[in-house]
Amino acid sequence: MMSDYRCSVCGGRYENRRVTVELYNPQDELIVVKNVPAEVCVQCGDELFTAEITHQLLELSKTPPLPIATLQVPVYDLAAA
């Protein structure tokens, strides 16, 4: 469903979607959260979250429940390249 909001980046319209968000917890560990409700600009992909969703994501980063999956990802240092 399209929203009446206009994107402040490109002027496009937003629509309701579910997105994946990457966060870091206080121990600087990456946390990936799937199926996060967001308003996403159909032109540039800018994402907007409600205050409630933002609060839930911040709380999740502090004390996450057991994960549904664990991923192993390579880490690179651009300064060392």
Band the pLDDT of 1: cuts 50, 70, 90: low
Q: How many structural domains comprise the chain?
A: 1
Expressed as residue numbers, the domain containing 30 is: 2-80
Three-state SS at 80: helix
Centre a 10 Å sphere on the Cβ of residue 39 and count the other Cβ atoms it contains.
19
- pLDDT top residue among 4 and 44: 44
CATH number of residue 42's parent domain: 3.10.20.860
Which pLDDT value is given to residue 18? 97
- pLDDT top residue among 80 and 56: 56
Per-residue pLDDT of 19-74, as tens digits, reads 999 999 888 888 999 999 999 999 999 999 999 999 999 999 998 888 899 988 88
- pLDDT top residue among 9 and 73: 9
Which pLDDT value is given to residue 75? 84
Distance separating alpha carbons of residues 64 and 46, to the nearest angstrom: 26
